[in-house]
A and B are shown apart, each in its own frame.
Chain A
Amino acid sequence: MLTQAKFDLNPMGEIITGRLQFSGGIISAVCGDETYFEAPLEGIQELVIRPYVGCATLELVPENSPEDMSESLEVCRFSMACVEEIGEFCKVINHYLSTGEETEISTEGFRVCPKCGRHYAKGLSTCLFCVEKGYLAKRLLGLAKPYAGTLLISAFFVILSSACSALLPVLNARLIDDYLYSETLAAGAKVHGVIAVALIMAGSQVLSRLFNIVSKRKANVASGDLSNDLRVMVYDKVQRLSASSMSQKTSGDLMKRVSNDTEKVKNFIVEQGMYALEKLLMFIVILVILLSISPLLTFIVLVPVPIVTYAIHKFWSTIRVRYQKQWRCESRENSILHDIVRGIRVVKTFGSEKREIEKFSSASKRLADVCVSNEHMWAIAFPLLQFFMGIGEFFVIYFGGRMVINNTISVGQLLEFNLFLAYIYQPLRWMSSLPQRLGDLAASLIKIFEIIDEKHDVEDAESPKPADLDGEIVISSLRFGYKAYEPVLKDINLRVQQSEMIGLVGHSGAGKSTLINLIMRLYDADAGSICIGGTDIREMKQHEFREQLGVVFQENFLFTGSVYENIAYARPDALPSEIIAAAKAANAHNFIMALPDGYNTLVGEDGHNLSGGERQRISIARAVLRNPSILILDEATSALDPETEEQIQQALARLVKGRTTFAIAHRLSTLRNADRLVVMEKGRIAETGSHRELLKNNGIYARLVMAQRSTSKLSKDE
């Protein structure tokens, strides 16, 4: 079997088109006739990718490699454009090295457009460069489909309303030609005619307004439903995003997508979508009327329209780029201002007010320059375009006037023509500004679709099994990296008995939190498995699985609401007696009772009305109430004063009893109750055993303990 991937740099850093291949136990890197590297995999422990800046290298690590990796072999060098493909190549070869099984490279996660070959951004599933013009329109129509009925009724009434309004020019023409300038009618008949026309005009106007009201009411119903459904659809998807996807997006960005972008799409569908039909129909009908009055005048009026429309289109392209630049300058100025205001104490204590003022002034001046330049352009170009768009009107006065004098058309017909002109320019102006509206809409739509289309990294199995987390946990040959080419966990093997408490110990970046994330199935392993009671957690129903997990972090989030609601978050159907019992077990009851509103006390936004220790105890109460089978304590007692820590330790000791527990703590003394300690080092399990056993081994754990003892001694001395 041939496994291959592309690489694109030669050893001199020149861009080439090379092929990395593995066949018959030999790995090679070739470009045309030239072979850069060739070696058998015999005696090789693993393939690793070393990411640098803008490039990376692939290395073979031999068995019994020294720690300084000086015996490794560099296979090839490549730009970051190849890193995903070579990452997959690595996975396949490493799998072969550890199991002897040959597998195929998965191209599923590659972000390369098969059509244009361009790479697209993470989180997208479509190449936006190649996206067809109708793609967004089609999807937009898909979104509007459930409301099509209501929107069509609304559009129908808008058309009726416009038709009533459009009667005015016709009636005006009749008024002038048939009554005011009539040479055959008697004065009395003329008066009656004028009254009749006035009444019809008033009636048509009343009808027009009524139809308009009906249309607006219908549109509002559709608008409310659409807005609500869109927001819920995006919010629902945001809630289901995987942990890796969430970590790539800011909360501000997600909030903007749920509220602003959905609002923009709704406004477009309701306002522009409804008017589109009306404007188009109006344009066609009025064009027919104008042609029936005078084909020559119609031609004169319409001649400049395509030229001006094209000019407007070009103008919008330019102005859009200019306004984007203005937006960036505003954003930069705001960011500087935000920084200065937030860090005002730092600015003052460093006496750097002058420097900060200069920095802000420079950004502000830049913004002012861009604004002035844009406004100048706008002030000149827009009136000019408007003028040229309507230039036909002046020709109509000249040619139309001559036609009236020559009796080719009547005065009434000229007036009718002029009044209809206003009606035909309206849809034309609307159509000319449509590209800009579409541009705004497209930006919002793409952001919404980015969320809606995003694939889940952690999917439920096709026929998931019920989750039962009671039983032994077996972690075998676990391998994982947040980036496919940078493994964070390597070959983790661990058996944890039911109700055992495991303390995870190691330096920062050793992989402790990553292991916890995998046990909680926030991510799926690249290789290996985690089984609980004999079932792989990937085969369990995620919802049921998480229901049986309890987690206490270092920083716990409390939702705006009461203490009661925050504890009950773990189990909304809990009885008050259960909430109080959970709070008692978490040593939270006493401080809650000391608050004037007791359990009804509002915790404030993000729990700011409570201290760190109090928030921590509420989160422990939550975990108690959940009664989980597996408990995760991630630095649960860090950053607390000794007295509070003692109270929380007592609460935790009650909580862990009878549950399988994984606890991470930098302060090793807090893991004194652990049945077993697992020491992690560079993504692998380096040592396991009890506190005494590990001290006796005089390894990494013993060094960590000694280091902490000397630190605490130093701080006591001070």
Chain B
Amino acid sequence: MSSNDTLRQTISPETLKAEYISPASCEFFKTEKGFLGAEINGQKFNRVILTRALPLTFSDDYICISDVERKELGIIEHISDFSEDNQKLMNEELGHRYFSPVITEILSIKEKFGNFYFDVMLGDLKRNFTVKDISKNIRYHEKGFDLIDVDGNRYRIIDFDAIPKKSRRLLEPYLY
């Protein structure tokens, strides 16, 4: 068999499909210490980590399961294919790993020497943060974007059109 044939076989749609973990072969559980565990194809893992492959575009799909050393155990195609209990455990774990508080209102943006100082409302909570070079620290998603501050925190605007008009007016000049 030539190497080209081998390659073609490796990437056939059937082979790709086989990479995903089916809901039938995977069951999640919570360990005594509070970590997420999983039994995959009969093999028990006492601690697994879930990572979004496409966190900005498909946050509930293509979820990678790995151990703490980042060794991949498999990929879940859609969380929604799993039972409610499993979904709850997975969402809890993802909520634990990804933290991007939602900006509900922008009170002010002050630019000083290339740094942008935001005063925002996260629901009822007022918070300030600093973004250096806004164009490099913005990650767009479907309707909104994440702003990354100088510490590596992420602040999310879920839908740009849904935030108050004044907030849009303040932020618009800094978007593409």
Query: Are B112 and A128 in contact, CB atoms less than 8 angstroms apart?
Result: yes
Query: Are A15 and B101 in contact, CB atoms less than 8 angstroms apart?
Result: yes
Point out the residue from B37, B115, B135, B173 that lies within 8 Å of A70, measured CB to CB.
B37
Provided the pairs A68-B47, A74-B34 are in contact, do residues A80 and B152 lie with their beta carbons within 8 angstroms? Answer: yes
Chain A residues 50 to 68 lying within 8 A of chain B, measured CB to CB, are 50, 52-55, 57, 66-68
Indicate if A13 sits at the interface (CB-CB under 8 A). yes
Point out the residue from A120, A129, A442 that lies within 8 Å of B110, measured CB to CB.
A129
Nearest Cβ in chain B — how far from A484, in angstroms? 13
Query: Are B33 and A122 in contact, CB atoms less than 8 angstroms apart?
Result: no
Provided the pairs A68-B68, A119-B151 are in contact, do residues A53 and B95 lie with their beta carbons within 8 angstroms? Answer: no
Query: Are B113 and A68 in contact, CB atoms less than 8 angstroms apart?
Result: no
Provided the pairs A118-B130, A328-B135 are in contact, do residues A9 and B173 lie with their beta carbons within 8 angstroms? Answer: no
Chain B residues 66 to 109 lying within 8 A of chain A, measured CB to CB, are 67-69, 95-101
Q: Which of B111, B122, B152 has the most CB of A within 10 A?
A: B152
Indicate if A111 sits at the interface (CB-CB under 8 A). yes
Q: Which of A53, A69, A122, A366 has the most CB of B within 10 A?
A: A53
Query: Are B3 and A718 in contact, CB atoms less than 8 angstroms apart?
Result: yes
In the bound complex, what is the Cα–Cα distance between A119 and B69 (angstroms)?
A: 31
Nearest Cβ in chain A — how far from B34, in angstroms? 6
In the bound complex, what is the Cα–Cα distance between A447 and B45 (angstroms)?
A: 50
Query: Are B113 and A120 in contact, CB atoms less than 8 angstroms apart?
Result: no
Indicate if A446 sits at the interface (CB-CB under 8 A). yes
Q: Which of B113, B114, B150 has the most CB of A within 10 A?
A: B113
Chain A residues closer than 8 Å to B33, beta-carbon distance: 70-74
Indicate if A680 sits at the interface (CB-CB under 8 A). no
Query: Are B3 and A13 in contact, CB atoms less than 8 angstroms apart?
Result: no
Q: Which of A156-164, A318-326, A453-461, A688-696 contacts B (4 or more CB under 8 A)?
A: A318-326
Chain A residues 126 to 146 lying within 8 A of chain B, measured CB to CB, are 128-129, 131
User: B interface vs A, CB < 8 Å?
Assistant: 3, 31, 33-35, 37, 45-47, 55, 67-69, 95-101, 110-115, 117, 122, 125, 127-130, 132, 135, 149-154, 173-174, 176
In the bound complex, what is the Cα–Cα distance between A72 and B49 (angstroms)?
A: 14
Provided the pairs A129-B112, A324-B173 are in contact, do residues A331 and B152 lie with their beta carbons within 8 angstroms? Answer: no
Indicate if A243 sits at the interface (CB-CB under 8 A). no
Nearest Cβ in chain B — how far from A343, in angstroms? 21
In the bound complex, what is the Cα–Cα distance between A15 and B123 (angstroms)?
A: 11
Provided the pairs A74-B34, A80-B153, A324-B173 are in contact, do residues A129 and B115 lie with their beta carbons within 8 angstroms? Answer: yes
Query: Are B153 and A120 in contact, CB atoms less than 8 angstroms apart?
Result: no
Indicate if A81 sits at the interface (CB-CB under 8 A). yes
Indicate if A594 sits at the interface (CB-CB under 8 A). no
Query: Are B153 and A81 in contact, CB atoms less than 8 angstroms apart?
Result: yes
Query: Are B151 and A83 in contact, CB atoms less than 8 angstroms apart?
Result: yes
Nearest Cβ in chain A — how far from B55, in angstroms? 7
Indicate if A571 sits at the interface (CB-CB under 8 A). no
Chain B residues closer than 8 Å to A443, beta-carbon distance: 113-114
Chain A residues closer than 8 Å to B153, beta-carbon distance: 54-55, 79-81
Query: Are A122 and B150 in contact, CB atoms less than 8 angstroms apart?
Result: yes
Nearest Cβ in chain A — how far from B70, in angstroms? 10
Chain B residues closer than 8 Å to A81, beta-carbon distance: 149, 151, 153
Indicate if A332 sits at the interface (CB-CB under 8 A). yes
Chain B residues closer than 8 Å to A52, beta-carbon distance: 96-99
Which A-B residue pairs are the 6 nearest by beta carbons? Answer: A70-B46, A55-B99, A80-B152, A54-B99, A70-B47, A446-B113
Point out the residue from A15, A55, A70, A332 that lies within 8 Å of B122, measured CB to CB.
A15
Indicate if A664 sits at the interface (CB-CB under 8 A). no
Indicate if A329 sits at the interface (CB-CB under 8 A). yes
With both beta carbons as reference points, the residue of chain A lying nearest to B95 in the complex is identified as A13
Point out the residue from A321, A366, A447 that lies within 8 Å of B176, measured CB to CB.
A366
In the bound complex, what is the Cα–Cα distance between A60 and B27 (angstroms)?
A: 27
Chain B residues closer than 8 Å to A66, beta-carbon distance: 46
Nearest Cβ in chain A — how far from B118, in angstroms? 10
With both beta carbons as reference points, the residue of chain A lying nearest to B118 in the complex is identified as A118
Chain A residues 62 to 104 lying within 8 A of chain B, measured CB to CB, are 66-74, 77, 79-81, 83-84
Query: Are A53 and B176 in contact, CB atoms less than 8 angstroms apart?
Result: no
Query: Are A9 and B113 in contact, CB atoms less than 8 angstroms apart?
Result: no
Indicate if A372 sits at the interface (CB-CB under 8 A). no
Provided the pairs A120-B150, A332-B176 are in contact, do residues A69 and B47 lie with their beta carbons within 8 angstroms? Answer: yes
Provided the pairs A70-B37, A443-B114 are in contact, do residues A119 and B173 lie with their beta carbons within 8 angstroms? Answer: no
Query: Are A13 and B99 in contact, CB atoms less than 8 angstroms apart?
Result: yes
Query: Are A111 and B150 in contact, CB atoms less than 8 angstroms apart?
Result: yes
Chain A residues closer than 8 Å to B110, beta-carbon distance: 129
In the bound complex, what is the Cα–Cα distance between A9 and B95 (angstroms)?
A: 12
Provided the pairs A71-B33, A129-B110 are in contact, do residues A119 and B129 lie with their beta carbons within 8 angstroms? Answer: yes
Indicate if A121 sits at the interface (CB-CB under 8 A). yes
Provided the pairs A68-B46, A80-B152, A81-B153 are in contact, do residues A53 and B98 lie with their beta carbons within 8 angstroms? Answer: yes
Query: Are B55 and A53 in contact, CB atoms less than 8 angstroms apart?
Result: yes
Main secondary structure of the interface of A (DSSP, over half): mixed
Query: Are A128 and B113 in contact, CB atoms less than 8 angstroms apart?
Result: yes
Nearest Cβ in chain B — how far from A716, in angstroms? 14
In the bound complex, what is the Cα–Cα distance between A269 and B101 (angstroms)?
A: 45
Chain B residues closer than 8 Å to A71, beta-carbon distance: 33
With both beta carbons as reference points, the residue of chain A lying nearest to B152 in the complex is identified as A80
Nearest Cβ in chain A — how far from B60, in angstroms? 15
In the bound complex, what is the Cα–Cα distance between A66 and B44 (angstroms)?
A: 14
Query: Are B130 and A121 in contact, CB atoms less than 8 angstroms apart?
Result: yes
Chain B residues closer than 8 Å to A329, beta-carbon distance: 176
Chain A residues 299 to 336 lying within 8 A of chain B, measured CB to CB, are 321-322, 324-325, 328-329, 331-332
Chain A residues 22 to 41 lying within 8 A of chain B, measured CB to CB, are none
Given contacts A54-B99, A81-B153, A328-B176, 19 further A-B contacts (CB under 8 A): A13-B96, A13-B99, A15-B127, A68-B47, A70-B35, A70-B47, A71-B33, A72-B35, A74-B33, A80-B151, A117-B128, A119-B150, A119-B151, A121-B130, A128-B112, A129-B110, A322-B173, A331-B135, A443-B113
Q: Which of A52, A329, A442 has the most CB of B within 10 A?
A: A52
Provided the pairs A15-B101, A121-B130 are in contact, do residues A54 and B96 lie with their beta carbons within 8 angstroms? Answer: no
Q: Which of B55, B132, B151 has the most CB of A within 10 A?
A: B151
Chain A 464-499, CB-CB to B under 8 Å as 1, else 0, gives 000000000000000000000000000000000000
In the bound complex, what is the Cα–Cα distance between A322 and B111 (angstroms)?
A: 13
Query: Are A54 and B176 in contact, CB atoms less than 8 angstroms apart?
Result: no
With both beta carbons as reference points, the residue of chain A lying nearest to B110 in the complex is identified as A129
Nearest Cβ in chain B — how far from A250, in angstroms? 11
Query: Are B125 and A15 in contact, CB atoms less than 8 angstroms apart?
Result: yes
With both beta carbons as reference points, the residue of chain B lying nearest to A116 in the complex is identified as B128
Chain A residues closer than 8 Å to B128, beta-carbon distance: 117-118
Query: Are A121 and B150 in contact, CB atoms less than 8 angstroms apart?
Result: yes
In the bound complex, what is the Cα–Cα distance between A111 and B125 (angstroms)?
A: 23
In the bound complex, what is the Cα–Cα distance between A80 and B174 (angstroms)?
A: 24
Query: Are B173 and A325 in contact, CB atoms less than 8 angstroms apart?
Result: yes
In the bound complex, what is the Cα–Cα distance between A172 and B98 (angstroms)?
A: 77
Chain A residues closer than 8 Å to B35, beta-carbon distance: 70, 72, 74
Chain A residues closer than 8 Å to B117, beta-carbon distance: 118, 129
With both beta carbons as reference points, the residue of chain A lying nearest to B115 in the complex is identified as A128
In the bound complex, what is the Cα–Cα distance between A718 and B3 (angstroms)?
A: 8
In the bound complex, what is the Cα–Cα distance between A331 and B136 (angstroms)?
A: 11
In the bound complex, what is the Cα–Cα distance between A326 and B83 (angstroms)?
A: 50
Chain A residues closer than 8 Å to B97, beta-carbon distance: 52-53, 55
Provided the pairs A15-B125, A119-B129, A119-B150 are in contact, do residues A68 and B99 lie with their beta carbons within 8 angstroms? Answer: no
Point out the residue from A15, A80, A442 that lies within 8 Å of B113, measured CB to CB.
A442
Nearest Cβ in chain B — how far from A50, in angstroms? 8
Chain B residues closer than 8 Å to A74, beta-carbon distance: 33-35
Chain A residues closer than 8 Å to B47, beta-carbon distance: 68-70
Query: Are B99 and A9 in contact, CB atoms less than 8 angstroms apart?
Result: yes
With both beta carbons as reference points, the residue of chain B lying nearest to A71 in the complex is identified as B33
Chain A residues closer than 8 Å to B34, beta-carbon distance: 74
In the bound complex, what is the Cα–Cα distance between A117 and B151 (angstroms)?
A: 13
> What are 11 contact pairs spanning A and B, CB under 8 A?
A15-B125, A50-B68, A52-B98, A54-B99, A54-B152, A72-B33, A74-B34, A119-B129, A119-B151, A128-B112, A447-B114
Chain A residues closer than 8 Å to B31, beta-carbon distance: 70
